[in-house]
Amino acid sequence: MDSTRRERATLALAVWGVLVSQVLLYPGVSDLVTALGGGQGEYDLSAGMLFLVAEFASFVAFSSVWGALSDALGRRTWLIVAGALGGAASYVALLALATLPWLDATFGAVLAVRLVGGAMTIGAFSLSITMLADLSGGNGRNMGAAGIAIGLGAALGSVVGGQLTTIDPLAPLYASAAALTAVALLVTTVTDRTPDSTRVGVGVVLKKLAARPAFAVPYAFGFIDRMTAGFFALVGVYYFRETFGANAAVAGGVLALFFVPFALLQYPLGSLSDRVGRFVPVVAGSMLYGVAIIAVGLAPVFELAAGLMVVVGVFGALVAPATMALVTDLAEPGERGAALGGFNVFGSLGFLAGFLVGGVVADAVGYLPSFLVVGFAEVAIAVVALRAVKRLDGIGAAQTPSSAD
Protein backbone atom coordinates (compact mmCIF):
# COMPACT_ATOMS: atom_id res chain seq x y z
CA MET A 1 0.00 0.00 0.00
CA ASP A 2 1.50 3.36 -1.02
CA SER A 3 1.66 6.30 1.37
CA THR A 4 -1.43 8.04 -0.03
CA ARG A 5 -3.62 4.99 0.34
CA ARG A 6 -2.25 4.25 3.79
CA GLU A 7 -2.89 7.79 4.97
CA ARG A 8 -6.35 7.81 3.40
CA ALA A 9 -7.18 4.64 5.33
CA THR A 10 -5.75 6.04 8.57
CA LEU A 11 -7.64 9.33 8.32
CA ALA A 12 -10.84 7.52 7.37
CA LEU A 13 -10.37 5.39 10.48
CA ALA A 14 -10.04 8.58 12.54
CA VAL A 15 -13.29 9.94 11.10
CA TRP A 16 -14.87 6.56 11.84
CA GLY A 17 -13.74 6.72 15.46
CA VAL A 18 -15.20 10.19 15.99
CA LEU A 19 -18.55 9.08 14.60
CA VAL A 20 -18.56 5.95 16.74
CA SER A 21 -18.00 8.10 19.84
CA GLN A 22 -20.85 10.41 18.91
CA VAL A 23 -23.50 7.90 17.80
CA LEU A 24 -22.94 5.54 20.73
CA LEU A 25 -25.18 7.89 22.72
CA TYR A 26 -28.08 8.14 20.27
CA PRO A 27 -30.06 4.87 20.64
CA GLY A 28 -30.30 5.24 24.41
CA VAL A 29 -30.41 9.03 24.61
CA SER A 30 -33.68 9.01 26.58
CA ASP A 31 -32.19 6.60 29.15
CA LEU A 32 -28.92 8.55 29.32
CA VAL A 33 -30.63 11.89 29.81
CA THR A 34 -32.66 10.44 32.67
CA ALA A 35 -29.50 9.00 34.26
CA LEU A 36 -27.87 12.44 34.05
CA GLY A 37 -30.75 14.17 35.82
CA GLY A 38 -32.82 15.44 32.88
CA GLY A 39 -36.24 14.60 31.49
CA GLN A 40 -39.68 14.15 32.95
CA GLY A 41 -40.33 10.65 31.67
CA GLU A 42 -39.04 7.83 29.48
CA TYR A 43 -39.91 9.56 26.21
CA ASP A 44 -39.32 13.21 27.12
CA LEU A 45 -38.37 14.44 23.66
CA SER A 46 -37.53 17.97 24.82
CA ALA A 47 -34.79 16.82 27.25
CA GLY A 48 -33.19 14.60 24.62
CA MET A 49 -33.38 17.47 22.17
CA LEU A 50 -31.53 19.82 24.54
CA PHE A 51 -28.84 17.21 25.18
CA LEU A 52 -28.12 16.82 21.46
CA VAL A 53 -28.60 20.48 20.56
CA ALA A 54 -25.97 21.59 23.10
CA GLU A 55 -23.24 19.62 21.33
CA PHE A 56 -24.23 20.70 17.85
CA ALA A 57 -24.50 24.35 18.85
CA SER A 58 -20.77 24.16 19.55
CA PHE A 59 -20.22 22.34 16.26
CA VAL A 60 -21.74 25.34 14.51
CA ALA A 61 -19.73 27.87 16.50
CA PHE A 62 -16.33 26.18 16.21
CA SER A 63 -16.22 24.18 12.97
CA SER A 64 -14.98 27.03 10.77
CA VAL A 65 -12.70 28.24 13.58
CA TRP A 66 -10.76 24.96 13.59
CA GLY A 67 -10.59 24.87 9.80
CA ALA A 68 -9.45 28.45 9.38
CA LEU A 69 -6.97 28.10 12.26
CA SER A 70 -5.39 25.05 10.66
CA ASP A 71 -5.11 26.88 7.34
CA ALA A 72 -3.48 29.85 9.05
CA LEU A 73 -1.02 27.74 11.05
CA GLY A 74 -0.26 25.34 8.24
CA ARG A 75 -0.81 22.44 10.65
CA ARG A 76 -3.67 20.00 11.21
CA THR A 77 -2.40 16.85 12.97
CA TRP A 78 -1.86 18.20 16.49
CA LEU A 79 -5.06 20.20 16.35
CA ILE A 80 -6.92 16.94 15.67
CA VAL A 81 -5.15 15.32 18.63
CA ALA A 82 -6.15 18.21 20.90
CA GLY A 83 -9.76 18.10 19.74
CA ALA A 84 -10.06 14.33 20.22
CA LEU A 85 -8.54 14.38 23.72
CA GLY A 86 -10.74 17.31 24.69
CA GLY A 87 -13.81 15.44 23.50
CA ALA A 88 -12.77 12.34 25.47
CA ALA A 89 -12.35 14.46 28.60
CA SER A 90 -15.90 15.80 28.19
CA TYR A 91 -17.33 12.27 28.35
CA VAL A 92 -15.32 11.58 31.48
CA ALA A 93 -16.72 14.80 32.97
CA LEU A 94 -20.29 13.61 32.27
CA LEU A 95 -19.52 10.38 34.11
CA ALA A 96 -18.26 12.42 37.05
CA LEU A 97 -21.42 14.52 37.10
CA ALA A 98 -23.54 11.37 37.15
CA THR A 99 -21.97 10.38 40.49
CA LEU A 100 -22.93 13.58 42.31
CA PRO A 101 -25.50 13.12 45.08
CA TRP A 102 -27.50 16.18 43.95
CA LEU A 103 -28.04 14.72 40.47
CA ASP A 104 -31.36 16.48 39.85
CA ALA A 105 -29.60 19.85 39.98
CA THR A 106 -26.79 18.97 37.57
CA PHE A 107 -28.50 18.84 34.18
CA GLY A 108 -27.52 22.44 33.47
CA ALA A 109 -23.91 21.46 34.11
CA VAL A 110 -24.39 18.46 31.82
CA LEU A 111 -25.45 20.78 29.01
CA ALA A 112 -22.44 23.03 29.68
CA VAL A 113 -20.10 20.04 29.40
CA ARG A 114 -21.80 19.08 26.15
CA LEU A 115 -21.08 22.58 24.81
CA VAL A 116 -17.39 22.28 25.64
CA GLY A 117 -17.17 18.71 24.36
CA GLY A 118 -18.79 19.67 21.08
CA ALA A 119 -16.32 22.53 20.60
CA MET A 120 -13.43 20.07 20.93
CA THR A 121 -14.87 17.10 19.04
CA ILE A 122 -15.73 19.11 15.92
CA GLY A 123 -12.04 19.96 15.57
CA ALA A 124 -11.09 16.28 15.36
CA PHE A 125 -13.94 15.53 12.95
CA SER A 126 -13.68 18.50 10.61
CA LEU A 127 -9.88 18.52 10.34
CA SER A 128 -9.69 14.75 9.73
CA ILE A 129 -11.93 15.25 6.71
CA THR A 130 -9.85 18.26 5.64
CA MET A 131 -6.67 16.16 5.77
CA LEU A 132 -8.40 13.66 3.50
CA ALA A 133 -9.14 16.49 1.09
CA ASP A 134 -5.45 17.43 1.12
CA LEU A 135 -4.55 14.02 -0.35
CA SER A 136 -4.22 13.35 -4.07
CA GLY A 137 -6.35 10.76 -5.84
CA GLY A 138 -9.59 12.53 -6.71
CA ASN A 139 -11.92 14.55 -4.51
CA GLY A 140 -14.76 12.09 -4.97
CA ARG A 141 -12.57 9.20 -3.86
CA ASN A 142 -11.26 11.06 -0.83
CA MET A 143 -14.71 12.26 0.20
CA GLY A 144 -16.04 8.78 -0.50
CA ALA A 145 -13.54 7.46 2.04
CA ALA A 146 -14.81 10.04 4.53
CA GLY A 147 -18.38 9.10 3.76
CA ILE A 148 -17.88 5.38 4.24
CA ALA A 149 -16.10 6.11 7.53
CA ILE A 150 -19.00 8.28 8.67
CA GLY A 151 -21.54 5.66 7.71
CA LEU A 152 -19.70 2.70 9.24
CA GLY A 153 -18.92 4.69 12.38
CA ALA A 154 -22.56 5.60 12.77
CA ALA A 155 -23.62 2.01 12.05
CA LEU A 156 -21.32 0.50 14.66
CA GLY A 157 -22.05 3.26 17.14
CA SER A 158 -25.80 2.78 16.85
CA VAL A 159 -25.66 -1.00 17.31
CA VAL A 160 -23.08 -1.04 20.12
CA GLY A 161 -24.59 2.00 21.82
CA GLY A 162 -28.00 0.37 21.94
CA GLN A 163 -26.55 -2.83 23.38
CA LEU A 164 -24.48 -0.95 25.98
CA THR A 165 -27.53 1.05 27.07
CA THR A 166 -29.39 -2.15 27.94
CA ILE A 167 -26.52 -2.96 30.33
CA ASP A 168 -26.09 0.52 31.83
CA PRO A 169 -27.35 3.88 30.49
CA LEU A 170 -23.93 5.39 31.30
CA ALA A 171 -21.90 2.67 29.55
CA PRO A 172 -21.82 4.50 26.17
CA LEU A 173 -19.95 7.37 27.83
CA TYR A 174 -17.03 5.09 28.74
CA ALA A 175 -16.90 3.73 25.19
CA SER A 176 -17.05 7.21 23.65
CA ALA A 177 -14.14 8.45 25.75
CA ALA A 178 -12.08 5.40 24.75
CA ALA A 179 -12.88 5.86 21.05
CA LEU A 180 -11.74 9.50 20.99
CA THR A 181 -8.56 8.68 22.88
CA ALA A 182 -7.78 6.05 20.24
CA VAL A 183 -8.39 8.64 17.50
CA ALA A 184 -5.86 11.00 19.10
CA LEU A 185 -3.21 8.26 19.15
CA LEU A 186 -3.96 7.15 15.59
CA VAL A 187 -3.69 10.58 13.98
CA THR A 188 -0.15 11.09 15.33
CA THR A 189 1.02 8.51 12.74
CA VAL A 190 -0.13 10.65 9.76
CA THR A 191 2.17 13.08 7.99
CA ASP A 192 0.86 16.64 8.09
CA ARG A 193 0.49 17.55 4.40
CA THR A 194 -1.18 20.92 4.79
CA PRO A 195 -0.37 22.95 1.65
CA ASP A 196 2.18 25.72 2.23
CA SER A 197 -0.15 28.20 0.58
CA THR A 198 -2.55 27.89 3.51
CA ARG A 199 -0.24 29.79 5.86
CA VAL A 200 -2.14 33.03 5.74
CA GLY A 201 -4.24 34.90 8.26
CA VAL A 202 -7.61 33.52 9.30
CA GLY A 203 -9.31 36.70 8.15
CA VAL A 204 -7.82 36.40 4.66
CA VAL A 205 -9.09 32.84 4.26
CA LEU A 206 -12.60 33.69 5.43
CA LYS A 207 -12.74 36.72 3.14
CA LYS A 208 -11.85 34.50 0.19
CA LEU A 209 -14.71 32.18 1.04
CA ALA A 210 -17.13 35.09 1.39
CA ALA A 211 -16.15 36.17 -2.11
CA ARG A 212 -17.09 32.74 -3.56
CA PRO A 213 -20.92 32.54 -3.52
CA ALA A 214 -20.80 29.26 -5.46
CA PHE A 215 -20.09 27.55 -2.12
CA ALA A 216 -23.69 28.31 -1.18
CA VAL A 217 -24.85 25.44 -3.41
CA PRO A 218 -23.11 22.50 -1.69
CA TYR A 219 -23.55 24.22 1.68
CA ALA A 220 -27.33 24.31 1.16
CA PHE A 221 -27.43 20.62 0.25
CA GLY A 222 -25.20 19.84 3.20
CA PHE A 223 -27.61 21.69 5.48
CA ILE A 224 -30.64 19.74 4.32
CA ASP A 225 -28.84 16.38 4.20
CA ARG A 226 -27.57 16.77 7.76
CA MET A 227 -31.01 17.95 8.83
CA THR A 228 -32.37 14.54 7.86
CA ALA A 229 -29.56 12.84 9.80
CA GLY A 230 -30.29 14.94 12.89
CA PHE A 231 -33.96 14.14 12.49
CA PHE A 232 -33.35 10.38 12.52
CA ALA A 233 -30.81 10.64 15.36
CA LEU A 234 -33.44 12.17 17.65
CA VAL A 235 -36.98 11.89 16.31
CA GLY A 236 -36.32 8.64 14.45
CA VAL A 237 -35.09 6.93 17.62
CA TYR A 238 -38.03 8.18 19.68
CA TYR A 239 -40.40 7.24 16.82
CA PHE A 240 -39.31 3.61 16.66
CA ARG A 241 -39.17 3.29 20.44
CA GLU A 242 -42.54 4.90 21.21
CA THR A 243 -44.58 3.92 18.15
CA PHE A 244 -43.37 0.33 17.77
CA GLY A 245 -42.22 -0.38 21.34
CA ALA A 246 -38.56 -0.95 20.39
CA ASN A 247 -35.96 -0.91 23.14
CA ALA A 248 -32.60 0.87 22.83
CA ALA A 249 -30.89 -2.16 21.28
CA VAL A 250 -33.58 -2.57 18.60
CA ALA A 251 -33.63 1.18 17.90
CA GLY A 252 -29.85 1.05 17.43
CA GLY A 253 -30.27 -1.83 15.00
CA VAL A 254 -32.83 0.13 12.99
CA LEU A 255 -30.43 3.08 12.72
CA ALA A 256 -27.81 0.63 11.48
CA LEU A 257 -30.17 -0.45 8.68
CA PHE A 258 -29.75 3.08 7.37
CA PHE A 259 -26.07 3.54 8.15
CA VAL A 260 -24.71 0.25 6.76
CA PRO A 261 -25.81 0.74 3.13
CA PHE A 262 -25.07 4.44 3.49
CA ALA A 263 -21.51 3.50 4.44
CA LEU A 264 -20.84 0.66 2.04
CA LEU A 265 -21.96 2.63 -1.00
CA GLN A 266 -20.13 5.88 -0.16
CA TYR A 267 -16.80 5.03 -1.73
CA PRO A 268 -18.06 3.58 -5.04
CA LEU A 269 -20.64 6.33 -5.47
CA GLY A 270 -18.07 8.99 -4.59
CA SER A 271 -15.78 7.56 -7.25
CA LEU A 272 -18.73 7.44 -9.66
CA SER A 273 -19.28 11.16 -9.19
CA ASP A 274 -15.64 11.75 -10.22
CA ARG A 275 -16.49 10.15 -13.57
CA VAL A 276 -20.02 11.38 -14.30
CA GLY A 277 -20.04 14.72 -12.48
CA ARG A 278 -22.01 15.86 -9.46
CA PHE A 279 -25.38 16.77 -11.02
CA VAL A 280 -27.14 13.39 -11.11
CA PRO A 281 -25.91 12.14 -7.71
CA VAL A 282 -26.76 15.41 -5.97
CA VAL A 283 -30.07 16.36 -7.61
CA ALA A 284 -31.66 13.00 -8.43
CA GLY A 285 -30.27 11.46 -5.27
CA SER A 286 -31.78 14.20 -3.10
CA MET A 287 -35.22 13.76 -4.63
CA LEU A 288 -35.21 10.00 -4.11
CA TYR A 289 -33.79 10.42 -0.62
CA GLY A 290 -36.64 12.74 0.39
CA VAL A 291 -39.32 10.41 -0.95
CA ALA A 292 -37.79 7.47 0.94
CA ILE A 293 -37.82 9.45 4.21
CA ILE A 294 -41.53 10.19 3.82
CA ALA A 295 -42.19 6.51 3.10
CA VAL A 296 -40.68 5.54 6.48
CA GLY A 297 -43.14 7.81 8.27
CA LEU A 298 -46.05 6.39 6.28
CA ALA A 299 -45.17 2.74 6.92
CA PRO A 300 -47.94 1.09 8.99
CA VAL A 301 -45.87 -1.71 10.55
CA PHE A 302 -42.42 -1.98 12.11
CA GLU A 303 -41.02 -4.43 9.56
CA LEU A 304 -41.83 -2.18 6.61
CA ALA A 305 -40.58 0.97 8.33
CA ALA A 306 -37.32 -0.75 9.25
CA GLY A 307 -36.87 -2.12 5.74
CA LEU A 308 -37.37 1.31 4.22
CA MET A 309 -34.48 2.58 6.33
CA VAL A 310 -32.23 0.54 4.02
CA VAL A 311 -33.64 2.43 1.02
CA VAL A 312 -33.03 5.74 2.79
CA GLY A 313 -29.41 4.70 3.31
CA VAL A 314 -28.89 3.84 -0.34
CA PHE A 315 -30.14 7.19 -1.61
CA GLY A 316 -28.29 9.06 1.13
CA ALA A 317 -25.07 7.43 -0.06
CA LEU A 318 -25.71 8.74 -3.56
CA VAL A 319 -25.86 12.33 -2.34
CA ALA A 320 -23.33 12.70 0.48
CA PRO A 321 -19.90 12.12 -1.13
CA ALA A 322 -20.79 14.07 -4.27
CA THR A 323 -21.85 17.06 -2.16
CA MET A 324 -18.65 17.05 -0.11
CA ALA A 325 -16.60 16.57 -3.27
CA LEU A 326 -18.27 19.61 -4.81
CA VAL A 327 -16.93 21.71 -1.94
CA THR A 328 -13.37 20.57 -2.59
CA ASP A 329 -13.89 21.04 -6.36
CA LEU A 330 -14.63 24.70 -5.75
CA ALA A 331 -11.91 25.39 -3.17
CA GLU A 332 -8.31 26.27 -3.87
CA PRO A 333 -5.85 24.06 -1.92
CA GLY A 334 -5.21 26.87 0.55
CA GLU A 335 -8.93 27.32 1.19
CA ARG A 336 -9.86 23.70 1.86
CA GLY A 337 -9.70 23.86 5.63
CA ALA A 338 -12.01 26.86 5.84
CA ALA A 339 -14.18 25.62 2.95
CA LEU A 340 -14.86 22.26 4.58
CA GLY A 341 -15.13 23.98 7.93
CA GLY A 342 -17.84 26.17 6.45
CA PHE A 343 -19.52 23.08 5.02
CA ASN A 344 -19.52 21.53 8.48
CA VAL A 345 -20.97 24.73 9.94
CA PHE A 346 -23.93 24.44 7.60
CA GLY A 347 -24.07 20.70 8.23
CA SER A 348 -24.15 21.26 11.97
CA LEU A 349 -26.85 23.89 11.51
CA GLY A 350 -28.72 21.22 9.57
CA PHE A 351 -28.34 18.78 12.46
CA LEU A 352 -29.68 21.47 14.78
CA ALA A 353 -32.61 22.06 12.44
CA GLY A 354 -33.28 18.32 12.36
CA PHE A 355 -33.33 18.19 16.14
CA LEU A 356 -35.35 21.37 16.60
CA VAL A 357 -37.75 21.26 13.65
CA GLY A 358 -38.28 17.52 13.87
CA GLY A 359 -38.58 17.58 17.66
CA VAL A 360 -40.94 20.55 17.80
CA VAL A 361 -43.19 19.28 14.99
CA ALA A 362 -43.30 15.74 16.39
CA ASP A 363 -44.04 17.06 19.89
CA ALA A 364 -46.75 19.42 18.66
CA VAL A 365 -48.60 17.49 15.94
CA GLY A 366 -47.12 13.99 15.75
CA TYR A 367 -44.46 11.94 14.07
CA LEU A 368 -45.95 11.71 10.55
CA PRO A 369 -46.04 15.48 9.98
CA SER A 370 -42.39 15.66 11.07
CA PHE A 371 -41.43 13.03 8.47
CA LEU A 372 -43.34 14.98 5.82
CA VAL A 373 -41.61 18.27 6.67
CA VAL A 374 -38.11 16.78 6.54
CA GLY A 375 -38.71 14.62 3.47
CA PHE A 376 -40.25 17.42 1.42
CA ALA A 377 -37.38 19.74 2.42
CA GLU A 378 -34.95 17.31 0.77
CA VAL A 379 -37.01 17.24 -2.41
CA ALA A 380 -37.44 21.02 -2.40
CA ILE A 381 -33.72 21.82 -2.23
CA ALA A 382 -33.10 19.60 -5.25
CA VAL A 383 -35.79 21.39 -7.28
CA VAL A 384 -34.77 24.90 -6.23
CA ALA A 385 -31.02 24.38 -6.77
CA LEU A 386 -31.26 22.25 -9.93
CA ARG A 387 -29.99 24.94 -12.31
CA ALA A 388 -27.22 26.02 -9.95
CA VAL A 389 -25.90 22.47 -9.65
CA LYS A 390 -26.08 22.09 -13.42
CA ARG A 391 -23.90 25.17 -13.87
CA LEU A 392 -21.29 23.73 -11.54
CA ASP A 393 -21.44 20.26 -13.07
CA GLY A 394 -18.31 19.24 -14.89
CA ILE A 395 -16.04 20.62 -12.20
CA GLY A 396 -16.37 17.39 -10.28
CA ALA A 397 -16.02 15.22 -13.36
CA ALA A 398 -12.74 16.95 -14.09
CA GLN A 399 -11.31 15.75 -10.77
CA THR A 400 -10.08 12.37 -12.04
CA PRO A 401 -8.06 9.97 -9.92
CA SER A 402 -4.33 10.23 -10.42
CA SER A 403 -2.18 7.31 -11.47
CA ALA A 404 -0.17 7.70 -8.27
CA ASP A 405 -3.17 6.71 -6.22
pLDDT of residue 198: 44
What confidence category does residue 197 fall into, taking pLDDT thresholds of 50, 70 and 90?
A: very low
| Cβ contact 400:277 at 8 Å | no
CA distance 295 to 284: 17
pLDDT of residue 147: 75
Question: 29-33, 58-62, 93-97, 306-310: which has the minimum mean pLDDT?
Answer: 58-62
Residue range(s) in the chain whose domain bears CATH number 1.20.1250.20: 1-189, 202-397
Of all residues in the chain, what percent carry a pLDDT higher than 90?
A: 40
CA distance 325 to 395: 10
CA distance 376 to 382: 10
Q: Is the pLDDT of residue 139 over 70?
A: no
Q: Is the pLDDT of residue 370 over 90?
A: yes
Q: What is the mean pLDDT of the chain?
A: 84
pLDDT of residue 276: 82
Tell which residue, 65, 81, 75, 341, has the closest CA to residue 194: 75
pTM value is: 0.80
pLDDT of residue 136: 66
What confidence category does residue 348 fall into, taking pLDDT thresholds of 50, 70 and 90?
A: confident
CA distance 60 to 11: 22
**Burial category of 262 from C-beta neighbours within 10 Å (exposed 0-12, middle 13-18, buried 19 and up):** buried
Q: Is the pLDDT of residue 403 over 50?
A: no
| Cα dihedral value 265, 267, 268, 270, nearest 10 | 110
* Residue scoring higher pLDDT (203 or 163): 163
Q: Give the CA distances from residue 297 to residues 3, 141, 170, 226, 246, in Å, rounded to whole numbers and listed in that order.
A: 45, 33, 30, 18, 16
CATH architecture of 202-397: Up-down Bundle (1.20)
Question: 57-66, 268-277, 281-290, 333-342: which has the minimum mean pLDDT?
Answer: 333-342
What confidence category does residue 334 fall into, taking pLDDT thresholds of 50, 70 and 90?
A: low
Q: Is the pLDDT of residue 305 over 90?
A: yes
CATH class of 1-189: mainly alpha
What confidence category does residue 402 fall into, taking pLDDT thresholds of 50, 70 and 90?
A: very low
Q: Is the pLDDT of residue 22 over 50?
A: yes
pLDDT of residue 105: 58
81-104 per-residue burial string, b: 16 or more CB within 10 A, e: under 16: bbbbbbbbbbbbbbeebbeeeeee
